[in-house]
Chain A
Amino acid sequence: MKKWVFWLVALAALAAMESSLRGLIGAYNYQIVILVGINIILAVSLNLINGYTGQFSIGHAGFYAVGAYTSASLVFYGGPAIRGATAFLPQIAQNAVLLLAGIFAAAIAAGIAGWAVGIPSLRLRGDYLAIVTLGFGEIIRVLILNIDAIGGSRGFSGIPQLSNFFWVYLVVLITVVTVHNLVNSSYGRAFISIRDDEIAAEAMGVDTTRYKVMSFVISSMFAGIAGSLFGHYTMYLHPNSFLFTTSFYLIIMIVIGGLGSIEGAILGAVLVTVLLEVFREFGAFRLVNFSILLVLIMIYRPQGLLGAWTLFRPRKAAPAAK
């Protein structure tokens, strides 16, 4: 009963904010708020594999791209058919059906990609895993670059705009609640045991490969959903939005905030996105500032700003990843 109340209130609040927010803060700030939301989804989901399961992946942008392109092409090519089938509904409901179809397809496609990448690469550890995930991310990007039906190197334009504050933050909420519940379940304890000591976890009967792949697939699915929301907000996709530097920025978000903490990932996503915007007027100097700030945070506070601090259900502090 309580859950229903929570979600109803959340839906009402999101809908109310959606209708007034753009007028209140202006189109430019509205766009930043949307970007912050998408980055929160990406960071919280990446934190699941990097922070909680302890498997260092730097290929998140690849799954983000898979989701963005799958959803965009489904809506672009299948949109008229879906609209035709749902013609009896009002426009806003048709849009919702289209977006949900896109999100669903994005999650499935990114999940399959995550599974295909995870099965072979999660045998590797540490730096090797990191570099293989980076490699897969780049391979995905080059493949997209070579598919002409989705724009190739010209970029994919003409994607209908379907997502907005309401949808992005609804997904943010769902992501945060899902990841929070997941890491506090028996699955989450299995993830954390793998992070803390893989060999001990295996000795205790945790099927480490299965849980690692599971964590990787779930993380990829959320990245795919974020991609769908991104494509349907910006209405244009280009493979260069999914360079490995995008993955680097996501890693930076979760590490600045504090690995293995949902609040940390959210804080990191907000900080990085907003800082990059605030420094924008300085031109190249903005990223000079940003990168020096990053280096200094890591030198003076290597566990991240929040460390493994968490607002809900305090647990034993997590050690920093090796």
Chain B
Amino acid sequence: METFLQQVINGISQGSAYALIALGYTMVYGVLRLINFAHGDVYMFGAFMGYYLANIPWIESRLGTSAASAVFVMLGAMILSAGLGILIEQFAYRPGRSATRFTLAFWFGVLGAGGGQLVGQTFASVVLGAVVGIAVGAVLEWLGIRPVRQESRLALLIIAIGVSLFLENGGQQAFGADPKFFPQIIPTTSLNIGPLNLDSQRVIVLLVSLALMVVLTVIVQYTKTGKAMRAVSFNLDAAKLMGINTDRIIAFTFALGSALAAAGGILVSLLYPRIDPLMGVMPGLKAFVAAVLGGIGSIPGAMIGGLIIGMAEVMAVGYGQSTYRDAIAFVILVLILLLRPAGIMGKGMIEKV
């Protein structure tokens, strides 16, 4: 019984991390009808940003292992990842939807920076490469190479896969392919509640995820921006006609989702400190499964879905064979979709002929 309760608690904390990632998937799907495959990699990016922020010498010496440094690392990584989310939206998903500029300049700049790092290994060569790339891209655009108006959702999906590959491999180049170890930014203590043995990390993970979910619900349900998000997700064209700046709302959705993914990344890194550039692939996929399970587009659905997947996995490892761990999420997914295709909280869509 004690081990069972212990497993339940492990499951809830694992599940709440999945839920944080699933929220980003579900929100982006809500506004763009796009499976943002790059989302799992934003989670990885968040964990790495947390790692680098926590290792800034000034922070390490002044704050060390304390609540203040934890808050700093967490908020910093969330803000940086929100920025990444906005960049991805701006330069990968938006061209073709709205007339945007400097797409080529951006990507050529990234290429140039990567090339610069490869050739010179110094900061100056990276900057030089980026500048050359941006110039080439800007000239090409000036010569008339412009994005094509995007009518196929499939192309958008491939772009998402491309961005995901880009973040994984860019991460390997920029952060190094070998795993790193996330520093202990909060002190570990054991709490004993009756027979249960909880370490403080798990409790913090759980509480922080719950708090973030509450904040998100407040933003989506009770602010004007949240109302606009819901309107865009209900009907993008109608929202645009009602005077909502849909591009700005979509960017905000990406920022919000990415910040949550980064928070998820840091919380998971507190439990399992090993981080590497490919760490986002499987959790990303499973979080997406969680979002579908809960009913994609539904925010409470994503939370429930995340908890179910996390719990099922922990139970499978605890009581079954751990080698089947990666299949559990997909088996649940297949069952749910075949029995209730819209997911637990999803609404069935009526198709017009």
Interface residues of B in 24-41 (CB under 8 A from A): 29, 33, 35
User: B292 contacts which chain A residues (CB < 8 A)?
Assistant: 128, 131
A298–B162 touching, CB < 8 Å: yes
Q: Does B114 sit at the interface, judged by CB under 8 A?
A: yes
Kindly list chain B residues whose C-beta atoms are within 8 Å of the C-beta of A321. Answer: 152, 154
Asked if A285 and B334 sit within 8 Å, CB to CB, the answer is no
Question: What mask results when residues 10 to 35 of chain B are scored 1 for a CB within 8 Å of chain A, else 0?
Answer: 00000000000000000001000101
- Counting CB contacts under 8 A, is A241 at the interface? no
Q: CB distance A302 to B96 under 8 Å?
A: yes
Question: A183-216 toward B: CB 8 Å interface, digit per residue (1/0)?
Answer: 0000000000000000100000000000000000
Q: Assess whether B345 is interfacial by the CB under 8 Å rule.
A: no
Interface flags, A269-293, vs B, CB<8A=1, else 0: 0000000000000111111111110
- Min CB distance A125 to B, Å, is 9
Give the segment of A28-36, A88-96, A244-252, A308-316 that binds chain B.
Answer: A244-252
Shortest Cβ distance from residue B174 to the other chain A in the assembled complex, whole angstroms: 9
Q: Contacting B155 at CB < 8 Å: which of A124, A291, A320? A: A320
The segment from A4-12, A78-86, A138-146, A223-231 that touches chain B is A138-146
Binds A, one of B52-60, B188-196, B218-226, B325-333: B325-333
How far in angstroms is the closest Cβ of chain B from A209?
14
A274 to B329, CA, bound (A): 35
Give Cα A248–Cα B165 distance, bound, in whole angstroms. 10
Q: Which residues of A contact B165 (CB under 8 A)?
A: 248, 287, 290-291, 294
Query: Which of A136, A199, A244, A282 contacts B353, CB < 8 Å?
Result: A199
A residues contacting the other copy or chain, number (CB 8 A):
50
Contact A136 B96 (CB under 8 A): no
Q: B327 to chain A: which residues have CB within 8 Å?
A: 138-139, 142-143
Interface assignment of A299: CB less than 8 Å from any CB of chain B: yes
Whether the Cβ atoms of A135 and B330 lie closer than 8 Å is yes
Q: Are B330 and A287 in contact (CB under 8 A)?
A: no
The verdict on A255 contacting chain B, using a C-beta distance below 8 Å, is yes
A296→B107 contact, CB < 8 A: yes
For chain A, what secondary structure do more than half of its interface residues adopt (helix, strand, loop), or is it mixed?
helix
In the assembled complex, how far is the CB of residue B314 from the closest CB belonging to chain A, in whole angstroms? 17
The verdict on B268 contacting chain A, using a C-beta distance below 8 Å, is no
A288 engages B166 (CB within 8 Å): yes
- Asked if B145 and A127 sit within 8 Å, CB to CB, the answer is no
- Contact check, A302 vs B155: say whether CB atoms are below 8 A apart: yes
Which residues of the partner chain A approach B177 to less than 8 Å between Cβ atoms? Answer: 284
A56 sits at the interface (CB 8 A): yes
- Can you give 10 A-B contacts (C-beta < 8 A)? A121-B337, A123-B338, A138-B326, A248-B165, A251-B161, A255-B158, A288-B173, A296-B104, A299-B96, A302-B96
Q: A: which residues have CB within 8 A of B?
A: 56, 120-121, 123-124, 127-128, 130-132, 134-136, 138-139, 142-143, 145-146, 153, 199, 244, 248, 251-252, 255, 259, 282-292, 294-296, 298-303, 320-322
A-B residue pairs, 5 tightest by C-beta: A302-B155, A135-B330, A142-B327, A287-B169, A320-B152
Q: A283-B118, A302-B155, A320-B155 are in contact. List 10 more A-B contacts (CB 8 A).
A: A124-B337, A132-B334, A132-B337, A138-B326, A248-B165, A292-B162, A300-B146, A302-B148, A320-B152, A322-B152
